[in-house]
């Protein structure tokens, strides 16, 4: 593998900023004590990074009918994010799903391309460029569809507008976004810093990361040959081909549109952000614009490993000559198709309502924000790094939970983090389990391997 020798090397590999999660999408409603119950639900997602869990939850909700006398169930998703760019990316993707000018095929391609690829196509760039002026008008007036901005302060909204302004400037200087210039300006320095003197042997290193970090991994799926067959459990390798992983590592394109990375001619400008640095001349502090996200794991675990249903799993995980005949991109495309269909159905379903509440994280009041929100939440979702960071403070959070209430905490593990070997991932997971075991009020409800689900007694 890469042989990362320091915390800085690991941070450089995983990224100083996150734009997608490294765990599969799960139906959050299924972990509540009374799933699909006829009452309102409130769920807090802390640095979940993308919309995968929300879309999976909405797609899995069973309609209760649309009679006029039925009281609709409201799902409130509170999303704490570290960057204005992530909040804007959520808004853009909902706009893409509901865009009447795009065909379903165009929506799926734009969704996969924009949300998970470092480099995007000209078509995707045009779609996003058309959405930005709409957000300029809607954000100040709190009129972004499916979003309630009441949790954002005035200065937070100003930061959103500033981010939109920065993007508009980048779009005007279109040559900066073109791949040849963008690689030299935004991504090449990070990659060369990762490989160092092993640059000429990077293909071997990528192959080692793929074999020991992904191919040697194992997942459990449920598959079914057809509607009349029985559902059976199976353990398998993730359906990620080497050429897909290599394309991400070398080209920044995980999910290729029309099966070629050459179509992806522009950098995804929404993934560009400022990172603290120092000038080469006088070593004074400055902000460095660049891509500071993941360059080793890829977005495959978030959307491209688990198919939507057992019959699809049987088809996608079919092998020929000991190789999968389908790809992770095809699984991702199938899942996005499901998200798109179910999301549009949910819009027209009178028995269900859902609202997204974006929250911009304040580092100075980080834990206080979680405590105050958690008092009225049915569930708290924590990303892997946040889960470990909060390990010592979780007892303090639990004090604010109502006695006898049904509260759930879901912690994301590092199962699919390629730069970390399998033994270290298992050790980190054990630390997370041990930390929660010390809390008497918490019971391990489910160990999903990629998520630990705890319930308050």
Sequence-separated (6 or more) residues with CB below 8 Å from residue 303 = 24, 25, 52, 112, 116, 331, 332, 335, 336
Q: CB under 8 Å, gap of 24 or more: what pairs does 2-11 form?
A: 2/194, 2/195, 2/205, 2/208, 2/209, 2/296, 2/419, 4/419, 9/194, 10/419, 10/420
Residues 68 and 296 sit within 8 Å (Cβ to Cβ): no
Q: Between β-strands 451-456 and 442-447, what pairing exists: parallel, antiparallel or unpaired?
A: antiparallel
Can you tell me the distance from the alpha carbon of 338 to that of 11, in angstroms, rounded to the nearest whole number? Answer: 34
Q: In 3-state terms, what secondary structure has residue 266?
A: strand
- Burial pattern 22-56, b for ≥16 Cβ within 10 A else e, equals bbbbbebbebbeeeeeeeebbbbbbbbbbbbbbbb
Predicted pLDDT at 404: 46
Answering whether pTM is above 0.85, one says yes
Q: How confident is the model at residue 243 (pLDDT cuts 50, 70, 90)?
A: very high
Residues 79 and 357 sit within 8 Å (Cβ to Cβ): yes
Percent over 90 (pLDDT), the chain: 46
- Structure confidence by residue, pLDDT tens digits, 307-365: 988 899 999 999 988 889 999 999 999 999 999 999 998 888 877 889 999 999 876 65
Burial of 10 (0-12, 13-18, 19+ CB in 10 A): middle
| Alpha helix ranges (H) inside 40-153 | 52-60, 84-97, 104-116, 122-138
Percent over 70 (pLDDT), the chain: 89
- Structure confidence by residue, pLDDT tens digits, 87-132: 999 999 999 999 999 999 999 999 999 999 999 999 999 999 999 9
Which CA distances in Å does 232 have to 162, 311, 314, 363? 51, 11, 10, 46
pLDDT at 444 over 70: yes
Which H/E stretch holds residue 312?
helix 310-316
- Burial pattern 97-113, b for ≥16 Cβ within 10 A else e, equals beeeebeeeebbbbbbb
Can you tell me the distance from the alpha carbon of 353 to that of 359, in angstroms, rounded to the nearest whole number? Answer: 20
Predicted pLDDT at 105: 94
Mean pLDDT of 434-445: 79
Burial of 345 (0-12, 13-18, 19+ CB in 10 A): middle
pLDDT at 245 over 50: yes
Sequence-separated (6 or more) residues with CB below 8 Å from residue 172 = none
Residues 119 and 113 sit within 8 Å (Cβ to Cβ): no
Tokens coding 334: 């199938």
Sequence-separated (6 or more) residues with CB below 8 Å from residue 78 = 42, 43, 44, 45, 151, 357, 359, 373, 377
Mean confidence (pLDDT) of the chain: 86
């Amino acid at each position: 593998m890469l042989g990362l020798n320091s915390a800085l090397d690991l941070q450089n590999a995983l990224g100083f900023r996150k734009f997608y999660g490294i765990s599969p999408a799960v139906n959050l409603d299924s972990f509540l004590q009374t799933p699909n119950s006829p009452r309102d639900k409130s769920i807090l997602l802390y640095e979940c990074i993308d919309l995968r869990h929300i879309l999976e939850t909405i797609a899995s909700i069973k309609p209760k009918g649309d009679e006029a006398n039925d009281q609709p169930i409201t799902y409130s998703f509170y999303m704490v994010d570290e960057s204005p760019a992530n909040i804007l990316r959520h808004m853009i993707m909902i706009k893409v799903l509901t865009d009447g000018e795009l065909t379903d095929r165009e929506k799926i391609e734009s969704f996969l391309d924009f949300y998970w690829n470092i480099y995007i196509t000209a078509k995707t760039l045009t779609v996003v460029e058309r959405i930005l002026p709409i957000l300029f008008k809607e954000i100040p007036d709190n009129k972004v569809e499916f979003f309630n901005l009441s949790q954002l302060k005035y200065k937070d909204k100003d930061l959103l507008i500033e981010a939109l302004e920065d993007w508009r400037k980048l779009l005007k200087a279109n040559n900066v976004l073109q791949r040849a210039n963008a690689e030299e300006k935004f991504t090449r320095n990070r990659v060369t810093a990762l490989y160092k003197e092993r640059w000429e042997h990077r293909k071997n290193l990528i192959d080692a990361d793929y074999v020991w970090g992904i191919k040697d991994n194992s997942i459990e799926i449920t598959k079914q040959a057809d509607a009349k067959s029985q559902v059976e459990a199976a353990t398998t390798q993730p359906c990620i081909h080497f050429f897909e992983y290599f394309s991400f590592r070398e080209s920044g394109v995980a999910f290729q549109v029309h099966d070629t990375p050459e179509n992806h001619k522009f950098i995804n400008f929404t993934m560009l952000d400022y990172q603290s640095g120092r000038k080469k001349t006088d070593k004074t502090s400055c902000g460095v614009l660049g891509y500071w996200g993941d360059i080793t794991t890829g977005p495959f675990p978030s959307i491209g490993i688990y198919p939507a249903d057992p019959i699809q799993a049987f088809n996608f995980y079919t092998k020929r000559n000991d190789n999968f005949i389908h790809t992770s991109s095809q699984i991702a495309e199938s899942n996005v198709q499901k998200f798109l269909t179910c999301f549009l159905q949910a819009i027209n379903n009178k028995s269900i309502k859902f609202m997204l509440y974006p929250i911009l994280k304040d580092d100075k009041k980080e834990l206080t924000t979680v405590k105050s929100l958690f008092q009225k939440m049915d569930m708290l979702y924590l990303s892997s790094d946040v889960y470990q960071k909060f390990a010592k403070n979780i007892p303090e959070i639990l004090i604010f939970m109502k006695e006898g209430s049904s509260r759930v905490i879901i912690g994301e593990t590092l199962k699919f983090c390629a730069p970390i070997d399998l033994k270290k991932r298992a050790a980190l997971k054990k630390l997370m389990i041990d930390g929660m075991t010390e809390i008497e009020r918490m019971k391990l409800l489910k160990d999903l391997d990629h998520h630990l689900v705890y319930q308050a007694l």
